[in-house]
Amino acid sequence: MIWGIIRRKLASCKQSQSVSRIKHPAIRPRGYGQNELLSNGSQCCRAYSNKPRREITAILRPEYFIPLRSRSFSSDTGDLVDAVVPFMGESITDGTLAKFLKNPGDRVEVDEAIAQIETDKVTIDVASPEAGTIQKLVAKEGETVEPGTKIAVISKSGEGVPQAAPPSQEKTTSQPPPPAEKESIGKGTTKTETSSVKGKEKTLFPPQPAARAPSSPPKPSEPQLPPKESERRVPMTRLRKRVATRLKDSQNTFAMLTTFNEVDMTNLMKLRSDYKDAFVEKHGVKLGFMSGFVKAAVSALQYQPVVNAVIDGDDIIYRDYIDISIAVGTPKGLVVPVIRNSDQMNFAEIEKNINTLAKKATAGTISIDEMAGGTFTISNGGVYGSLLSMPIINPPQSAILGMHSIVTRPMVVGGNVVPRPMMYIALTYDHRLIDGREAVYFLRRIKDVVEDPRRLLLDV
């Protein structure tokens, strides 16, 4: 716009002075290689104004231009980079800064974990955005942080990183004498006189004992016991608190009832023993019992779709898909990864998914999406030696199947008492939605399929 105004004024000046032709270079701000704004000796400019170039130069000074570039880092030299909390998932708004993996002065590489954030479901790493040296830690361990919160500052060059002072300097540093001794030495007073004066002051003004605050006597009903040395207090992790809250909410919400049955594992164990080597050779994964129970649960859910449904207010939502959750115990707590579309998988695909999700859960690298959803849960307490238990429903699902250890017991088969590998199974369900008849039929279907896996091939 400025160029247009100048050109119009030059054109009007040109007409008033009847100048045939005036040449002037392109007008540019000073500092870009063009110092002269108008040609020297221009009669038109002198007629228009006594000092045109000074005025135009003042208008076009470089400080009036808006800089087009902006630094992406926090320091003037572009050396410092902020490490912030990443996005943690759709349903997670904050987390607890569990611990720092690096200290100020440590060297880090790009995408190297410098801290761990504990959420209600998983543990998330905070990665370094650049390679450099940790300059300082902004947040503290145990604080609640949100996505985008700055927790550390990284120096790409390593300059300005605080270094700890050597302990020898602290020892050699001499402390100045007290001011009382300086004054006494300046006045010529000896140390003996000074000590005698202090002794008289102590005699004349003896120190008064500090008034003790009145303490309330202990209640007789609550005896004060000395703390035991073997006790220690450890704060609960966010995952443990979340699991406790969900389990208690499940007890307060559902009308839970548990139905039991027992399964003869002879045929499934024989199937596994006969084909385990060929199965590993072809699919690269071992054949376990979980894939057989997942296929049996899929068949039972298809026979009893109400077990796969859920109550939503005054409505019942029937789901035509089957996503089975597998409960996995980890050192940090219980997690429940989901096998999507279990009804469309074969034994090998189920085993591969179980192994992958179990390894991620144990290592703490499982994501939120891999645990979200799920229509039915299977919990295998038998791997820990559990003989019988009553599992708790995983909200918002309506039922959960509990597997237990395999124990050889005497059973009557064909009129004869023979040893059989037996397993107790338990179904805990929401009695508001599922009646006892459906629950019993569901367990009977699992029993029939596990005891005779040929039913899965014939769909009978």
Q: What's the rounded Cα separation, in Å, for the pair 117 and 143?
A: 10
Q: Name the one residue in this structure whose structure tokens are 């003989």.
A: 387
Q: What's the rounded Cα separation, in Å, for the pair 30 and 45?
A: 19
The active-site residue out of 106, 249, 274, 435 is: 435
283 included as an active-site residue: no
Joined together, the tokens standing for residue 291 give 């894939």
> Could you give the residue ranges of the DSSP H alpha helices within 309-388?
347-363
Strands (DSSP E) contained in 185-277 are 256-264
Cβ neighbours of residue 418 under 8 Å, at least 6 residues apart?
410, 411, 412
3-state class (DSSP) for residue 175: coil
431 included as an active-site residue: yes
Strands (DSSP E) contained in 230-337 are 256-264, 310-312, 315-317, 324-326, 328-330, 333-335
Q: What's the rounded Cα separation, in Å, for the pair 242 and 130?
A: 34
The active-site residue out of 24, 125, 283, 431 is: 431
3-state class (DSSP) for residue 424: strand
Q: What's the rounded Cα separation, in Å, for the pair 253 and 248?
A: 9
3-state class (DSSP) for residue 427: strand
Active site residues: 431, 435
